Chains A and B, each alone.
Chain A
Amino acid sequence: MQALRSKARELLATKTVQVIIGYASGGGGRARAVFVREAAKADALVFDDSCQQNLAVYFSKPEVRKLGKAALVATPAALRAILQLAAENQIAEGELLALAVGGDDVVPLATFAAIEAHVAARDGDWSAAEKEELQKYEAMGLEERRRFWEEQFSRCLKCYACRAACPLCYCTRCTVECNQPQWIPVPAHDLGNLEWNVMRAMHLAGRCVDCGDCGRACPVNIPLHLLNRRLIREVFTVFGSRSGRSAKGDNALSTFKPNDPEDFIQ
């Protein structure tokens, strides 16, 4: 943490960046986001196990962009989010300095290439527990799964916290905000909830960087991240592509190969 704070102080003092986006202590043992603009306030920055939120989400907000060049305290998921945003032309080289924190080390990553290398060196598969979790649902039969998700979505409030927390949901006007026509109904009822969650999962297919913030943000604890994980696995198994590993390139669903599988197509 000390290394982080001194690095922050240095960056602000030398005016290399105008704002550091990092974590501070929130109440109740939780961390919350903080925007440090003066070197003197750099001590507010913390980094521990409670720091899980993907801070890259702030970088899409125009209010944050207006503050100038930023440094971002980046978890591995945040780094992947930065690369994916770069691939989608939402961040240009040099607009952001990523500070990868590991243990007591702070590694500043100024270029996308550096971030790519950093991510690649630490890349791995899901943990055994994560794989098991997904398999548990797949082992349930179709009917059991249907009931499970029906029950889950019946609790959805349509608060859109999942959308707000996701760094890749950056559309200035989300499709649900268009009411001519109202494609997905606003009130929280089972059908609309299902449609909303299906749509969000599909719009993130091939793009989601698996940070899990959506599930964490959900106030009624719907395991949303499972939907995204299932699609991450589908995209990887079938098309061999993964999001968030390169600052260039197209998403799985905006490209194709002439010999993509089609055994289910008559």
Chain B
Amino acid sequence: MSGEKHAHPAAEPLPGRVLEQTGVDVARCYQCGKCSAGCPLAAEMDYPPSQIMHLLQLAGEFPEFAEMALRSHTAWLCLTCEICYCRCPMELDIPKVMDALRHEALRKKKVNPKAKDILAFHRAFLDSVKHTGRLFEMGQVVDYKLRSGHFLQDLLQAPWMFLVGKLHLLPERVRDRRQLKRIFARTLKARENRP
């Protein structure tokens, strides 16, 4: 009855980790392509979402596919708009898989070089929140420029934004910043403790 079991994609390193972290079993994807069809950024991606899913399906047997998935630009371009999840006939939470891939890529230091700016923006954002409890646009922009090196980007927009009140010179701070520090510390600790 139970013969030689074919290696199930979810049982191996990367797909197994994806399953563990997201609950998504990539074996259920039957490659219909509806996610890629609906994805607003599919045309810009190196591997549209359905291809990422197929790479994950084979990643157990073929480590190079795991590499391709981790190093893809796709996970960083994903907007988490959830059109793919909404339309998927198998109800696979693809945005969650993308998130898991981002974390894995960071952990293994295999981030796609084209994602440098996205990562810079992301970190600048989190920094702002950590220090003020709010998104302080000015601070975030400065932080982003320092990290990314795009000093002159969008500079011409700045005056107008000041005038209409979209940019402020001073940040608004929440009262209990210690709470924030604790939240960040706890989250980072939990991430470390994750297997």
A and B touch in the complex (CB under 8 A): no
